[in-house]
Structure formats: structure tokens, C-alpha cells
Chains A and B, each alone.
Chain A
Amino acid sequence: MQSIDLRGVSCPTNFVKAKLALEDLENGTTVQILLDDGEPVKNVPRSLKADGHKLIGLKQTEDGHYLLELVKQEE
């Protein structure tokens, strides 16, 4: 699975980086995005949802980060 590591990247740079990474992928591709706890996990998923992507899961990892799983869906 495609993976985008945004640990250590602050808002809103993490969101912009996610957008750029998603641009290179085909619609329908499932992607995993690694996010920091705190503001990033509160902001990035909702912003990506607002962009039209289908969010399918969000889980906390053992080391305290978050793993967001989504399907790229953009016009």
C-alpha cells in the first residue's frame, strides 16, 4: 500500500504535503498517512475529507502516532 509519512510536519504544511503526494496517485488508490497526535490528527483528516477523499479508517499506533487510511477520490 502507498504510504505518506507526515510525522514531524506541522499544520498546515502536512495537509499541503498530503495533497501534493495524492496528486501523483490514481483515483481509487488506497493510501496510508502517518500523522502526529494533537493538531495534525484533528485537522488533516477533516481537510482531506473536505477535498473529497474517502476516509476509511483512523487508528492510533503503538508509538502514539495516527494511521489514516483513505481512498483517493478527486475530480
Chain B
Amino acid sequence: MSETKQPKLDLSNLKAGGFIKERGKDLFTIRLRVPGGRMSIPRLKKIADVADKFGGEFVHLSVRQSIELININYKNFDAVVEALGEKDQKVASCGARVRVPVACGGCEYNPNGLVDTQKSALEVDQKLFGTPTGHHKFKVAFAGCPFDCPKSATNDVGFQGAIEPVLDKAACISCGLCAKSCVPKAIVMGADNKPELTPAACIWCGDCVKVCPVSAWSVKKQGYTVRIGGKWGRNPLVGTLFATFLPEERVCEFIEVVLAWYKEKAEAHGRVRLGDIIIREGSQAFLDHLRVTFPENVVSSTIPPQVILTQVGN
């Protein structure tokens, strides 16, 4: 050990976050960015090799889909980054930044997916990952449909795939499957034995389109339902509805507009999440800000992020 030289560390790696102090002396966890939870098999093999050489006996899959290398001696930081061959890539962030987006498998191979969540997650990762917020962490998630496996509304901005259905009455064979499958009962069979849709009750899940055996129901409009202001942790908030049918290609722009408002309104309030700022400023003020850029998508009224009392009960 006496031969050990002072290691030269590239501290810009540290600044990007993703190096997390462990209990043991000199040991750190390195969090590797896996946007949307999708990882190519060659990269997975390479990570396995690096973990085997520099890490402990296992890796950990973080709850936000990143792979974490465990028990990395800080003196090996640069060697690990070099061995991963991802020098150009930042490792996954910690701190008051836009975090790696989480996403479900999306529509490519999952028959439930209504939108391409993987594409959205990659785009947000490339354009916005690591952007400092100045205040607190900022999490984004993409769910491909209202089943919402990624729990989008527990994120600062949560996107949920949605479609508006439209019926071709002539093609309908009156089997009644759509009405039967409609969880919120927005579709009922009418007197003419054809389905009738009550738009106000619809959650845009697309189950009618998916279940229709003859494609009488089809997609009229698609995009993301956007809920904002969610978080979990010690004081959970569930994000509430701010926009509907946001086009997939406007996701990054939308997040940037949200971030601009957050940066400004949270000024001087310290380490505070977006949801608490919306509660402080009022959801109407935030809606007005969003409506300037997204008049077709922002809802006319909403409620602030909702406090969830998780400590009630004896």
C-alpha cells in the first residue's frame, strides 16, 4: 500500500453526480444511466465485466431503472469510467438536477402501449439530463398507457400515454365488448345496440380500440396526459392534471417551460420541489404560464398537487 500514488481523479465526473458514498471506507456506488430502463446486451455484458473487475459481488438495480455498481474504491473511479468506454456519457445524476427519465417498455412490443415512451425517455435524457434546477431534484417518467406501471403522477412531471377513440358505427358488429371492457363506464350500449361514448368520463386508455374485434373503434388523437407536481419520500404529493394530448414531439419543450417557471418561482425558497411551489403559487398561475406556449393542451382548470397523508393511523 505504501506504493500507492495519490490518484488523479477527473472531478468533472464527480460533479455530474452518480457517485454515491457508501458505508465502508473509500467505497462508493456508481450509478449508471439507463434511460427508460432499456439497455443493449453488449453494454450489459461490458457492465458485468467492469462490475466483476472493480466492484463487489453484485450490482443493484435502482428503483429508477439504473444499474448501480457497488463497492467501488474511489481510487478506481477513472479506471471504471475508462473501462466502461462511456467517457463521453455522463453517469447518472444525483442532486438538484433533471434526473434520468423512467419509462415503461412502450408501444414497440407491449400491446398495451399507446405511445413510444422509450423514444420520449431517450429524447429527454439527451436534451435535458443533468440540467441544474437550482432548487431540488426533478424527476420525469413516461407511462405508455393509463395502467401507468411507472406511476407517472409521483414524478415532478409525469407523462401518461392517451388516445381519444372514435367509432365507425357502420363497421360495428354490436358485440358489446367495448362497453364491457370500459373500466370508467364511459361507453354504454345505446338503444340502437351500438356503443355510446361519454367523453367527460373517458380516461383515454384506449381499451375500446384494443378490444374491438373489427376495428370499428380507432384512434382519433393521441399524445400524453401530463400530471405535474408529484413526489414521494417523507411528504408525498400526487401530481395533478395540467395538460392533455400533448404531442410526443413537444415533450422536451414542455419540460423546459415547466423548468423555467420552477426556477423563477422557487427562487429564495431553498431546497423545495416543484409540487410545493405549485401549492404555494396556486395551480391557476401555473396553468396560465403553461397556456401561453401550449394553448391547445393545457386544461382550463385543475387542482394543486394532492397531499397524501401517509402517517395517519395508530
Contact at B173–A46, with CB atoms within 8 Å? no
In the bound complex, residues from chain B placing their C-beta under 8 Å from that of A56 are 173, 214
Asked if A58 CB lies within 8 Å of chain B CBs, one says yes
Whole-angstrom distance from the CB of A65 to the nearest CB of chain B?
Answer: 13
Asked if A18 CB lies within 8 Å of chain B CBs, one says no
In the bound complex, residues from chain B placing their C-beta under 8 Å from that of A46 are 111, 210-213
Asked if B181 CB lies within 8 Å of chain A CBs, one says yes
Contact at A58–B173, with CB atoms within 8 Å? yes
Residues of chain A in range 8-58 having any CB-CB distance to chain B below 8 Å: 41-42, 45-47, 49-50, 55-58
- Contact sample, A vs B, 6 pairs, CB 8 Å cutoff: A42-B181, A46-B111, A46-B211, A49-B215, A55-B214, A58-B173
Residues of chain B in range 169-198 having any CB-CB distance to chain A below 8 Å: 173, 175-177, 180-181
Contact at A57–B181, with CB atoms within 8 Å? no
How long is the Cα–Cα vector from A60 to B181 in the complex, in angstroms? 14
Asked if A7 CB lies within 8 Å of chain B CBs, one says no
Chain B residues at the A interface, C-beta cutoff of 8 Å: 111, 173, 175-177, 180-181, 210-215
Report if A58-B111 is in contact (Cβ < 8 Å); known contacts: A46-B213, A49-B213.
Answer: no
**Minimum CB distance partner of A55 in chain B:** B213
In the bound complex, residues from chain B placing their C-beta under 8 Å from that of A57 are 173, 175
How long is the Cα–Cα vector from A28 to B214 in the complex, in angstroms? 17
How long is the Cα–Cα vector from A53 to B284 in the complex, in angstroms? 50
How long is the Cα–Cα vector from A50 to B304 in the complex, in angstroms? 41
In the bound complex, residues from chain B placing their C-beta under 8 Å from that of A60 are 176
Contact at A42–B177, with CB atoms within 8 Å? yes
Other than the given A42-B181, A45-B213, 7 more pairs (CB < 8 A) read A41-B180, A42-B177, A42-B180, A47-B111, A49-B213, A56-B214, A58-B175
Contacting residue for B111 out of A41, A45, A50, A59, CB 8 A: A50
How long is the Cα–Cα vector from A60 to B111 in the complex, in angstroms? 25
In the bound complex, residues from chain A placing their C-beta under 8 Å from that of B176 are 60
In the bound complex, residues from chain A placing their C-beta under 8 Å from that of B212 are 46
